[in-house]
């Protein structure tokens, strides 16, 4: 079956532009995560959804970052007024259920955002 | 708060040699532990995980890791490196327990190079 897909794979934005990054999780997966991976660093947690509910947004770096998952499947990460420091790979992951961390997170290929 | 330290941002081995990638964690309670591999332009793939039970965990592609609580370590090993093992490896932790939803905290990553 299909894995986690993300689009676009690459995005170049001029500073100040708004961008929207899409994640299609594996069908039926309850949990959805967004991570930010800066160049040469490990991924860092941004936000978590359980179905359509955003239960944790503690990792969002500023109020310019907004995420939604309105129907409990596809999710969109939106960045307003992009800044150069937003340049990174944005990873989406989904897992089957909640209840401990023993459910494997399946990662998408990421969207590489470059802000010029 | 949890944290992960991977010793050595770059490790180079010869084909057929032992692979040892080091990971130490900091956590107030024993966490769940993971190793992920990332090939260029691809998402993260789970190699292995430790949750409970046997402290020596075997994963895919001949990798294994041992959880040592007294040393707060979870080092990744493979007896004989193959050229296809060249990639970036990430150690990660998450909070254990039924109320956890599995948010991952990653180390900085170790790039493994395999020489013929």
Contact B74, B23 (CB under 8 A): yes
At B107 the pLDDT is: 96
Interface test with A, best of B25, B44, B111 (most A CBs within 10 A): B44
The whole-number average pLDDT for the span B23-36 is: 89
Residue A8 φ then ψ, to 5°: -70, 165
Q: Which helix (H) or strand (E) holds A79?
A: strand A75-79
Contact A101 B96 (CB under 8 A): yes
Q: Is the pLDDT of residue B5 over 80?
A: yes
The whole-number average pLDDT for the span B17-27 is: 96
User: Which residues does B contribute to its contact with A (CB < 8 Å)?
Assistant: 4, 9, 32, 36, 41-46, 49, 51, 90, 92, 94-98, 100-109
Contact B101 A109 (CB under 8 A): no
The whole-number average pLDDT for the span B39-45 is: 88
Which of the two residues, B74 and A104, has the higher pLDDT score?
B74
What is the pLDDT tens value at each position of chain A, 116 positions in all?
Answer: 589 999 999 999 999 999 999 999 999 999 999 999 999 899 999 999 999 999 999 999 999 999 999 999 999 999 999 999 999 999 999 998 765 556 789 999 999 999 99
Interface test with A, best of B24, B45, B104 (most A CBs within 10 A): B104
Partners of residue B101 in chain A, C-beta under 8 Å: 31, 48, 50, 55-56, 98, 101
Residue A52 φ then ψ, to 5°: -90, -5
pLDDT-derived band at B26 (thresholds 50, 70, 90) equals: very high
Nearest chain B CA: its distance from A39 CA (Å): 10
Nearest chain B CA: its distance from A98 CA (Å): 5
Q: Is the pLDDT of residue B82 over 90?
A: yes
At B97 the pLDDT is: 66
Interface test with A, best of B46, B101, B107 (most A CBs within 10 A): B101
| Residue in the structure block whose two tokens are 């993971």 | B34
Q: Is the pLDDT of residue B42 over 90?
A: no
Instruction: Kindly report which listed range (A94-103, B14-23, B75-84, B90-99) carries the lowest average pLDDT score.
Output: A94-103
The total of other beta-carbon atoms located within 10 Å of residue B10's CB is: 10
* Closest partner CB to B101 (pick from A35, A40, A50): A50
At A1 the pLDDT is: 56
* Measured CA distances, B83 to A44, B114, B116 (Å): 29, 6, 7
Q: What is the dihedral of CA A105, A108, A112, B1, to 10 degrees?
A: 0
The whole-number average pLDDT for the span B18-46 is: 91
pLDDT-derived band at B10 (thresholds 50, 70, 90) equals: very high
Partners of residue B42 in chain A, C-beta under 8 Å: 109
Residue B22 φ then ψ, to 5°: -95, 140
| Minimum CA–CA partner of B41 in chain A | A109
Q: Is the pLDDT of residue B69 over 80?
A: yes
């Amino acid at each position: 079956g299909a894995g986690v897909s993300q689009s676009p794979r690459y995005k170049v934005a001029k500073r100040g532009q708004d961008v929207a990054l899409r994640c299609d999780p594996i069908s039926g997966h309850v949990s959805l995560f967004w991570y930010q991976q800066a160049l040469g660093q490990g991924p860092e947690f941004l936000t978590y959804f359980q179905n359509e509910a955003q239960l944790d947004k503690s990792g969002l770096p500023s109020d310019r970052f907004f995420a939604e998952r309105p129907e409990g499947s596809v999710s969109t990460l939106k960045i307003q007024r992009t800044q150069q420091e937003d340049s990174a790979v944005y990873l989406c992951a989904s897992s089957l259920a909640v209840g401990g961390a023993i459910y494997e997170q399946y990662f998408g290929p990421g969207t590489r955002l470059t802000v010029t | 708060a949890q944290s992960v330290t991977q010793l050595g941002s770059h490790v180079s081995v010869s084909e057929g040699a032992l692979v040892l990638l080091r990971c130490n964690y900091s956590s107030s309670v024993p966490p769940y532990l993971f190793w992920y591999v990332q090939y260029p332009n691809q998402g993260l793939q789970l190699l292995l995980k430790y949750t409970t039970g046997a402290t020596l965990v075997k994963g895919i592609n001949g990798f294994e890791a041992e959880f040592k609580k007294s040393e707060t370590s979870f080092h990744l090993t493979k007896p004989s490196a193959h050229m296809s093992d060249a990639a970036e490896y990430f150690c990660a932790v998450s909070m254990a327990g039924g109320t956890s939803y599995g948010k991952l905290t990653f180390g900085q990553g170790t790039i493994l190079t395999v020489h013929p």
